Amino acid sequence: MTDKPIRVTVWNEFIHERTCESTRMIYPDGIHAVLSAAIREQLGAAVEVRTATLDQPENGLTAEILARTDVLAWWGHAAHDQVSDAVVERVHQRVLEGMGFLALHSTHASKIFRRMMATSCMLRWREAAEKERVWIVDPSHPIVDGLEGEFFELPQVEMYGEFFDIPRPDELITISWFEGGEVFRSGCTFRRGKGKIFYFSPGHEAFPLYYDANVRKIIANAVRWAAPRGSSYVGDGRNIEPSLSPIAAKHVVDESLHAHLKK
């Protein structure tokens, strides 16, 4: 692994914070500002964090910015449709090349997440300020490094419940239980191409969830986990003639083999 800092871009649609007074009180500079601060606080010099928002040119995600992004964290809810298809295509391509992707909270319904999952990604929800108990079901996973105990609790959340229409996750890291009785696969990993994807559900805009120490730790751990690793291969499907090693001359169609198969 390289010693270079992980280049993180935190993307936020940045709408609720400008249109809803109660959200503005929790996140006066936007959810992206609090997420960035959390990642910097946890990872220090190991990261370089920038932010991007929907209202910027090319939705803040130009080819140049994405080329310099190792991990993209995404928060969207009210304006999934306003993200341009060209940007979705570009983000998807970068994930296949190895860029990590953190899908936060209502990002489950974003164009990019649904495209990568190829399912509806729909779920059930309820806004009743109920308690969530987040059970750690993969305690040796790097995404839960440093968390204490078997679970942690969030006093007031929006409930997200099963059935969550996602493909079977590669790894299930957390399962949440809610006061009203539902359960939810709240922390899931996927791989697409060389890219690592982590979906994490706590993060509703009406509650200060991104100030919670456990949530912050999980998101920072996920940045480190999702950072590109491995070989330089980038999935460039291509014809590889001539071969690396000599291949003895063969008939393309061997008549004797055909005769043998017809017996």
**Which CB atom, from 183 or from 206, has the smaller least distance to Zn ion?**
206
Contact set for Zn ion, span 165-194 (CB under 5 A): none
Mask of contacts with Zn ion, 26-65, x by CB under 5 A?
Answer: ----------------------------------------
> Half-sphere exposure (CA, 13 Å, Cβ side) for 224?
18
87 CB neighbour count, 10 Å cutoff? 20
Q: Is 199 helix (H, G, I), strand (E, B) or coil?
A: strand
**Which CB atom, from 149 or from 180, has the smaller least distance to Zn ion?**
180
Contact set for Zn ion, span 98-117 (CB under 5 A): 106
Applying CB under 5 A, which part among 8-16, 139-147, 157-165, 190-198 lies near Zn ion?
A: 157-165
Residue count of the chain, please give it: 263
Q: Report how far residue 94's alpha carbon sits from residue 85's, in angstroms, rounded to the nearest whole number.
A: 14
Is 158 a binding residue for Zn ion by CB under 5 A? The answer is yes
Q: Whose CA is closest to 66, among 35, 39, 97?
A: 97
Is 132 a binding residue for Zn ion by CB under 5 A? The answer is no
Q: Whose CA is closest to 140, among 197, 225, 200, 216?
A: 225
Is 13 a binding residue for Zn ion by CB under 5 A? The answer is no
Contact set for Zn ion, span 195-254 (CB under 5 A): 204
Which residues form the interface with Zn ion (CB under 5 A)?
106, 158, 204
